[in-house]
Structure 1
Amino acid sequence: MQQWWIAVLADLPENDQLNVAFVDVGHASMQVCIAGFKKGQLKILAHSFDRSLGGRDFDEALFQHFTTKFKAEYHIDVNQNARACLRLRAACEKLKKVLSANPEAPLNIECLMEEKDVRGFIKREEFEQISIPILERVKRPLEKALQDAGLAVENVHTVEVVGSASRIPSIMKILTEFFGKEPKRTMNSSECVSRGCALQCAILSPTFKVREFQVQECFPFSIAISWKGAAPDSQNGAADNQQGTIVFPKGNPIPSIKALTFYRSGTFSIDVKYADVSELQAPDKISTYTIGPFQSTKSERAKVKVKVRLNLHGIVSVESATLLEEEEVEVPVTKEPSKEPAKMDTDEVPSDAATKGPNEADANMEEAKSAADASGVENGVPEADKPTQMETDTKVEAPKKKVKKTNIPVSEVVYGGIPAAEVEKLLEKEYEMALQDRVMEETKEKKNAVEAYVYDMRNKLSDKYQEFVTDPEREGFTAKLQETEDWLYEDGEDETKGVYVAKLEELKKQGDPIEVRYKEYTERGPVLDQLVYCINSYREAAVSSDPKFEHIDLTEKQKVLNECVESEAWLREKKQHQDSLPKYATPVLLSADVRKKAEALDRFCRPIMTKPKPAKPATPETPATPPPQGGEQQQQGDANADPNANAGANETAGAASGEVPPASGEPMETDKSETA
C-alpha cells in the first residue's frame, strides 16, 4: 500500500478520502484490504481473507482432472506413485500459466508411470468449468470487506490486484463484475510486498528521513480475555464461573493499550484468545497469564490493575499488573494567614523608614519589642499566657487517603510455542549438527587436497620435474597417483577425514624428495651469489688502504682474510661436488647451508671491520696565575691601577651581568646623598 501511495502521490486528494481495494490472490491464500487515502495519510478500513484459496487450488483441480483422465485412457493410477504425482503437479502448474495467456494448452509427460508417455489437452473454458467451486469462493472475502468497511461498491474508487493467481482470467472477470470497474496493476506483483516492507521500516526508523506519511493500522481479529470469576453464592460452596470480555474488537487501531481492574485476594490467571475462530482455522487460545503471588494488607479483596497491550506487530500480551491499596495518612495541612493585617502594618510604616540606617532599624525593633512587653504587663496578661491564635489557624491535622502501588509478577504461557526444555534440546541438536557440518567440510577439504595433489603432481612429473626424477621413479609414482585417483572415485568416495590425511601423507613421502630437488636447484644460484659477494666485500675491505680502516690491527685484518679464504674453499669444494651430480640425485649443497655459512662469515668479520676509531687525547690546559696575597698589596694595587682600566673593568662586569653601567660619577653621588 505504501508503494501504491508513492505511485499515485500526486493524485491524492487533500480533504476527500480516496478508497482503494487491494486484492491479493497468491499461491495459497486470498486477502482483501480496503484502505482510505488522503494527502499524507493512510487508514485501514477493513480486512478479510480466505486462508485456503489460492493458485494451488487451481493446480489441484487440474491434477484431479488429468488423474481421472489418465486412469481411464492409460490405465494408470498416478496417486499410487509419489514421483508421478510430483511430475504431474509440476506439469499442471505450468499448464495453468499457459492457459492464462492462451485459450488452450497441451500436456505431455514422458515416462510418467510404468514407462508410459501420457498426453492431454484442455481448453480454457473446460478449465474454468472444473474450477467453478473455487471461483465461487472468491466473492466472499470481497463482500465481507465491504461490509466491515461500511462502504458500497460505488464508494470504492480504485481496485489494485497483486498475486500470482490474480493472472487467471476468470478471477479478473469476477473482480471486474463485482466492483464494476477494471482492476489495475499499478504495482509490481513480485516486488510490491518487499518494497512496501522496506518503506514501512524506513518510516519507523529514526535513521532515515522520508516524506511524512501517517499509517493508521487496524487489527483484523477480535481479541477477548477470560477469567474465572466468583459466583454470587461462591461463599456457600458454589463453583466458580468463567467470565470474559472483548478487549480489542475487530478493527481496533494498533498499537493500543487497555487497562482492566480485578478484585482478587490471591493469585489468579487470565486467558487471551480469539473471540471468533470460525474463519481463522486456528485454536482459539493464544496465551495464559498467571498474575501473582501477592498479599493484600486487608482481609477484603484487593484491587488489581492489569494492562493489556496490542503492540505495533499485532501481538497481544499482558504488560504489567499493579496492586492498588488505599492507606489513611495524617498529613499536616497549612493554611495561609490573612493578608489584611500585613497591609495595615505596611500602611503604618512612615515613608522615611526605608532611609534609616541599620542601627536605627535595630533601635526601632528594640523599642517596639519593649513597648509590646510593657503593654502586655499593663493589660495584666503575661506574654506566655496569651492565646496562640495564629498557630491554631495555620496548622490543622487532617487525615488523607493515599494509594499505594505494588508491582505484581506476571508469568506467561504461549500456546503453540516451544517449551524452554524443548528449546534447549533443539539448541543442543543444532550444535551437534553444526559440528557434523564442520567435520564434513574439513573432510571434504582433505579429499579435495588429495585429488588436487594427484592432478598437480602428475602434470609436474612430465613437465618441470622431468629432469629431477628417474624414469623408473616417475613410472612408479605415476602408477601410485593413478591408483589413488581410482580409489577416490570408488572405495574412497565416502571416507573419513583421517583416511584422506593418511593417503595424502603417503603420496608426499614419494613426492616431497622430488619437490626438494627442484626447489634447491632453483634457489641455489641466488644464494651462492650472496655468499660470494659477502666474501669479496670483506676481503677487499681487509686489504684496502682506505684511511677509515687504518686503525684496525693487521692481525685482525689477517683473521678476516683467513676466514674469507676458508669460506671460499668450502664453497668451491661443495660446488664442484654438486656440479658433478645429476639433477635427480640428492643435492649435497643445500641453500640453507649456504645461508648459514654467509651468516657465520658476516658475524665474524663485521665486528672487526666496523670497529670505531680511537678518540684523540685531550690537550692539557695552562694553569692560571694566582692573584697577589695580602690586603695591603691589594689596596696598593687598586690605588695604583689605571682609572680607565677600572672603568673598562666595570663596563666589562656590567656587560657580563647584563646591566648597563652608569655614564658618569654624578648619579653615584646623587644616590649617596639620597641614601644619606
Structure 2
Amino acid sequence: MSVIGFDIGNVNCVIAAAKRGGIDVLLNDEAKRESPAVVSFGDKQRFLGSAGAAFATANPKSTISQIKRLIGRQYKEPSVQEELKLLPFVTSEGPRGGILIELEYMKEKLTFTPVEILGMLFKHLKQIAEKNLESAVLDCVIGIPSYFTDLQRREYLDASYIAGLNTLMLMHDGTAIALGYGMYKTDLSNKGPTIVVFVDIGHCDTQVTVAAFEQGGMKVLSHASDPNLGGRDFDEVLFKHFADKFKEQYNIDVYSNPRACIRLRASCEKLKKVLSANTEAPLSIECLIEDKDVRGIITREEFENLSRELLERVGHPCIKAVNESGINLKKIYTIELVGSGSRVPAITKILTALFHKEPTRTLNASECVARGCALRCAMLSPTQQVRDYEVQDCFPYSIGARLDEGDNIKYRTITAIPKCSPFPVSETFTHIADTTFCFHISYINETDLPAGVSPKVGHFMMGPSHTSGAEKAKVLVKVVLNKHGIFEITFATVLEDERPSHKNVRLHSKKTLANKRTSNIAFSDNLDAATTKDELVKAQVREQKLLEQDKKVEQTKDQRNTLESFVYDTRSKLQNAYKKFVTELENEGITKSLQETEDWLYEDSDDECDEQIYTGKLEDLKKLIEPIENRYKGEKKVQATKPLLAMIEENRLVADSLPLENKMQLINACTEAEQYLSGHPPENYDPIGWSNFIKKTMGTFKRMCEEAIRPKLSIPKPVEPVYNKIKDENKAQATKTLLSMIEEYYCVADSLPHENKMKLINACTEVEQYLSGLSPDNFDQISWSNHINDTMGKFNRRCEEAIHYETSSPEHPETLESDRSCNNVDSQTEIPKDKKQTGKSVDGNRTGNSMDGNRTGKPVERNQTGKPVESDGNRTGKPVERNQTGKPVERNQTGKAVERNQTSKLVKQDQTGKPVKQDQTGKPVKPDQSRKPVDVSQDQTSKPVKQDQPVKTDQTSKPVNVGQADEPIDSEQMDIPDPMQIDGGCIPL
C-alpha cells in the first residue's frame, strides 16, 4: 500500500509519494506537478483541480478557491470578512457561527461547509495518486501551517475522513521542510548541532522555523508566522494599482465585475514573476470590460515602493522565531528560503540585511513541504522501511485550563501545555471537588494567535465524583497534546486514600501516583464549532452521491463522443475501405442513417439525454454496417492467409527432390500446418489478430521445414580398435599413432562446412574399416610399421583434400589429375572386384582409379614429401626439374643449368657455373681483388669444411658431415609386401 504526503496550499496542491527510489512528486491529468486547489460546480457535475480552474472564469460564483483561509474560522471574525471580499462566491453564517458556502447545483440551491469542500479536494487528490501509483491509497501525512488552531486541525482531519484517508499525522509545514533538508544532509558538523532557519513565504502566509540538526535526528526549536503576509498580498498591491489606473485612464470599474477581477489578478501574478527577473514589465489585457483593451507598464522600483509596508513585515516573524529559540545569530549556519512568494528580489535583500547572510535556495520552493510529508509518512507507516531518524517538533502556543465547581463558580487557571513544548506530550494534575466540575480549555496568550481568532478550544464536564466517607474527592486528570497538535483529556479518576491538599489544583508526576486506589469518573467534551460525528457521516454519504453523479456525466459524455466518432469513421470507410464491399442501395441507406444521427447530435439532443440513449443509437448503426464490415474483414483475412498457403504448397513440391526420410518429415510438417490452420477459424479473430496469428504460424512452419530439409548425418558404428587384436606391443604402439590421427580428424570435422565435414568423416571411417580388415600376424614388425606409416601419409593427404575441398574451384591438382584420369580409363581394363560392386576404388578415390595411378595406369612417382613428381610431358616421361622458387630448371646443350635475368635474357656464367657480373653495357665486371671470397662451407667455428665431402645441415642449421650421418636405408633390401597382395587390394586412400 502506498504512502502519500499532501501539501494543501492556498492556490495549488502538491502530492508526493514515497517509493523505493526515493520521494517522487505525482503528476495530474495534465502532466503537471501542481494541481489547483479549486472546486467548481457546473449544471450537472463538479470540476476539480485543473478542470475547475479552467471553469472558474466562466462561472466564478460557483467556483470555490482558497478554501484554506476559511477552514476552522468563524463567519463574524473581522479577518474573515476581509477575506470574503476577495472571493466571488456567496457565503453566510452557519448554525454554530461557522461559514456556509451557497451555490446552485443541478437547479437546486445548496450549501456546503468548508470541511465538505476540503473533503472534495482531498478525494480528487487521492484519485490522482491512485491513478499514478496504480494501487490503493490510504495512509497519508498532511502539511498544515504551524499557526493553525485546535479547531482548524480537527477540521482537516474531518475533511480527510470524508475523503476516505487515514491521516497518520498532521505535520507543520516548517517541520516537513526541515525533515526533507536534514534527512539527506551529509555534511553536518560533529562538534554540535547545526542551526538552520527556514523562511517559507507562501501564497497567503509567512512561516519561520528554527531547527537544530545532528547526525541521526533533528529538533525544532521554535515556530513563528504572519498569517496575513504572502505572495497574494504583493499581487493585491499590483491589482489595486492597475485597477485605480484603469478607472482613471479607461473609465472602467474593475471591482464591480467579478470576472474582470479574476483576470486582472491573474495578470498581476504573472507580472510579479516577470519583475523578479526584469526591471520593467508590461501589462496587457484584451476585452477586460465592455470590449475594452487595457495596457499598462510598471518598473521594479515602483513595485517595491508600493510594497514597502509588506516588505517591512517580512522580518518580524524571523526575529520572533530566533528570540523564542534562544539562539544567537552568529550560531546560525544558513537561512533556507522557500515558498511560491519568495521570488521577490527585495525579500532576499531584507533577509540578507537581517541575518548578515545571503539566503540559500537548495530546496524546491514549491514541493519541499509535500516531500517532507511523504518522508514522514514512510517513517510512520508499518509497510515502509526507512532509516532511523528522530524528529522532534514543538507547539507554538501555550494551552491553559480553567476550572469551576458547579454553582460556586470558583475559577482557577493552570498552564496545561507550555509554549514551545515538544509534542506529543501528556500531563496529569489533580483537582479537589465534591460535585461535578468543568475544564475550560483555551490558548493563554491571544497575541500569538492570528488576528481575530477566538482563543477558546472547548470545555470538558467531569463528575459527579463519589468517595467512601469523604466529603470532597481528589480527582486526577490526564491531558494530552497528541501528534496532530490537538488537545485531549484521556481519563479522569478519583484518588481516595490521601488527605486533601491545601491547594485545590496541583500537577503530579507518575511516581507520586503509585499505590493509590482509584475509580474512574465519566466526562464529556464539548468542542467549540466542531463538526459532529453525525454531520461527518452525512457529509461522507453526500460526497459519494456527488462522485457517482460525476461518473455518470463523464460516461454519458464518453458515449456521445463515441457515437460521434463512429458516424465520421463509418462515412469515411464507405468512401474508401468499404467501397468495393457495399452495394449502391446499401450505401444510400447507411449514408442516410448516418446523416440523421449527426443532425440529432447537433440539433435535437440535449443535456437530458443519458448514456443509454447514445448507446442505443450506436448499436443501431453497428447493425447496419456489420454485414459490410464482415465482407471487408473476410477479404483481409484471405489476403493474410495466402502467403502461408503458398509456403505450404512450395514445400510440398520441394519434398519430391529430398531423400525419403527428409521427404516424409517435410510432408508431415506441411500436413500439420494445414491441420493447425483449419483448427483456428478466421471468424474468431479480427483482421489484425488474424494477421498476427498467420505471421506467428508462418514462422513456426518455416523452422519446421528448415529442420526437415537439413541433411541427416549418419553416425558410423564404432569399430573395434585394431591394437586390441594385436598381441605384439611394438605393432600395437605403431597402430595407436594412426588411430590418434583418425580421432583428431574426427574432432576437426565438427568445425567444417557440411560437405567438407562429410568427406572428412568418410575418410576416417574407411581407414578404420580398412585397418579392421588387416591381420597383423601376417607382417613382421618392420613391415607392419612401414605399412602403417605409408597408410598414415596417404590418409593425411586425403584428409587435407577434404578440409580444403571446394565444389566451384578445386585447388588440389592431385584430385583434378585423378578425375581426369578417370575419363581415360580403357573400358576393357579389368576392374578389381571391389570396384565392380561399389563403382569406386577400394581407396575411396572419386575417379574410380587407384590414387597412385596416372593416365597410363603406371604408378605415380612421388618425391620425399609425398607429392607427385611432375613429368615433362614428352615421350621420355622424365620428371620436371624445378629450382627453389618453383620454376622449371632450363639447361643448355651441355646439360648445365641456365639462368635468365628480369628481361628473360640468358645470364653469362664462368667456368665454375657462377653468373658473371656485367655493367650497363653488358661487359663483364672484374671482381674486387681486395675482397676475399667467403667459403660458404664453414661451420660456426669458421673452419673450412673439406670440399671433397658434401655439406649437410641439421635442424639447427649447423653443417653435418655426411660421412658421419646414418647411412640411408636401401628400399630394395627391405621386406615390404606387395600392396596388391595384401587382403586383395591397395590401401583405400
- TM > 0.5 fold call: yes
Distance 1:514 1:171 in 2: 72
TM norm structure 1: 0.60
Shift of 1:131: 0.5
Query: What amino acid is the match of 1:324?
Result: L
Match of 2:487 in 1: 316
Q: Deviations over 1:275-295 (max 9, x none)?
A: 123342222122333334654
Distance 1:243 1:47 in 2: 29
Shift of 1:175: 0.8
8 Å Cα contact 2:405/2:435 also seen in 1: no
Is 2:236 the partner of 1:60?
yes
Q: Deviations over 1:351-392 (max 9, x none)?
A: xxxxxxxxxxxxxxxxxxxxxxxxxxxxxxxxxxxxxxxxxx
Is 2:610 the partner of 1:496?
yes
Q: 1:488 to 1:426 in 2, by over 3 A?
A: same
The match for 1:305 among 468, 473, 476 is: 476
Distance 1:258 1:283 in 2: 24
Distance 2:636 2:305 in 1: 82
Match of 1:145 in 2: 321
Query: What amino acid is the match of 1:13?
Result: N
Q: 1:427 to 1:10 in 2, by over 3 A?
A: closer
The match for 1:258 among 415, 427, 449 is: 427
Is 2:557 the partner of 1:414?
no
Q: 1:9 to 1:453 in 2, by over 3 A?
A: closer
Shift of 1:442: 4.1
Shift of 1:514: 5.6
Secondary structure of the equivalent of 1:258?
strand
Is 2:335 the partner of 1:221?
no
Query: What amino acid is the match of 1:497?
Result: E
Query: What amino acid is the match of 1:64?
Result: K
The match for 2:440 among 230, 254, 271 is: 271
Shift of 1:85: 1.3
Q: Where in structure 2 are the equivalents of 1:604-619 lying within 5 Å?
A: none
The match for 2:360 among 149, 161, 184 is: 184
Q: Where in structure 2 are the equivalents of 1:193-212 lying within 5 Å?
A: 193-205=369-381, 208=384, 210-212=386-388
Is 2:593 the partner of 1:480?
yes
Is 2:211 the partner of 1:35?
yes
Shift of 1:124: 1.3
Shift of 1:300: 1.5
Match of 2:553 in 1: 440
Q: Deviations over 1:247-277 (max 9, x none)?
A: 1111111121100212333443323222123
Q: 1:327 to 1:218 in 2, by over 3 A?
A: closer
Secondary structure of the equivalent of 2:297?
strand
Q: 1:42 to 1:446 in 2, by over 3 A?
A: closer
Query: What amino acid is the match of 1:52?
Result: N
Distance 2:523 2:548 in 1: 38
Q: 1:134 to 1:454 in 2, by over 3 A?
A: same
8 Å Cα contact 1:33/1:46 also seen in 2: yes
Secondary structure of the equivalent of 1:187?
coil
Query: What amino acid is the match of 1:138?
Result: V
Distance 1:522 1:13 in 2: 76
Distance 1:522 1:22 in 2: 68
Query: What amino acid is the match of 1:287?
Result: G
Shift of 1:64: 0.7
Shift of 1:70: 1.3
8 Å Cα contact 2:282/2:296 also seen in 1: yes
Distance 1:522 1:194 in 2: 54
8 Å Cα contact 1:25/1:164 also seen in 2: yes
Secondary structure of the equivalent of 2:567?
helix
Distance 2:314 2:498 in 1: 62
Give percent identity, aligned residues only.
47
Shift of 1:92: 0.9
Distance 1:94 1:496 in 2: 42
Q: 1:64 to 1:512 in 2, by over 3 A?
A: same
Q: 1:411 to 1:81 in 2, by over 3 A?
A: same
Q: Where in structure 2 are the equivalents of 1:353-368 lying within 5 Å?
A: none
Shift of 1:207: 5.6
Distance 1:520 1:12 in 2: 77
Distance 1:84 1:19 in 2: 47
Query: What amino acid is the match of 1:151?
Result: I
Q: Deviations over 1:39-81 (max 9, x none)?
A: 4342222211000111111000011111111111121111122
TM norm structure 2: 0.42
Distance 2:517 2:498 in 1: 7
Match of 2:195 in 1: 19
Shift of 1:118: 1.6
8 Å Cα contact 1:327/1:402 also seen in 2: no
Is 2:629 the partner of 1:458?
no
Secondary structure of the equivalent of 2:447?
coil
8 Å Cα contact 2:183/2:389 also seen in 1: no
Shift of 1:177: 1.1
Q: 1:22 to 1:434 in 2, by over 3 A?
A: closer
Moved more, 473-482 or 463-472: 463-472
8 Å Cα contact 1:327/1:404 also seen in 2: no
Shift of 1:224: 1.3
8 Å Cα contact 2:188/2:194 also seen in 1: no
Unaligned runs of 5+ in 2: 1-177, 500-513, 639-989
Q: Deviations over 1:435-476 (max 9, x none)?
A: 323432443344344334434543454456556654234212
8 Å Cα contact 1:326/1:402 also seen in 2: no
8 Å Cα contact 1:288/1:412 also seen in 2: yes
Match of 2:182 in 1: 5
8 Å Cα contact 1:229/1:243 also seen in 2: no
Q: Deviations over 1:485-522 (max 9, x none)?
A: 12112221422234334434554564456667888999
Shift of 1:211: 4.6
Question: What value does the CA root-mean-square deviation take over the aligned residues?
Answer: 3.2
Match of 1:670 in 2: none
Query: What amino acid is the match of 1:11?
Result: L
Moved more, 130-139 or 411-420: 411-420
Distance 2:618 2:427 in 1: 70
Moved more, 268-277 or 160-169: 268-277
8 Å Cα contact 2:397/2:448 also seen in 1: no
Distance 2:620 2:388 in 1: 71
Match of 1:287 in 2: 458
Shift of 1:309: 0.9
Unaligned runs of 5+ in 1: 231-237, 329-400, 525-676
Q: 1:43 to 1:466 in 2, by over 3 A?
A: closer
Distance 1:468 1:181 in 2: 81
Q: Deviations over 1:605-657 (max 9, x none)?
A: xxxxxxxxxxxxxxxxxxxxxxxxxxxxxxxxxxxxxxxxxxxxxxxxxxxxx
Shift of 1:325: 2.9
Q: 1:118 to 1:245 in 2, by over 3 A?
A: same
Distance 1:123 1:468 in 2: 71
Is 2:293 the partner of 1:120?
no
Is 2:411 the partner of 1:242?
yes
Match of 1:174 in 2: 350
Query: What amino acid is the match of 1:500?
Result: Y
Q: 1:266 to 1:489 in 2, by over 3 A?
A: farther
Distance 1:488 1:259 in 2: 71
8 Å Cα contact 1:25/1:54 also seen in 2: yes
Query: What amino acid is the match of 1:121?
Result: I
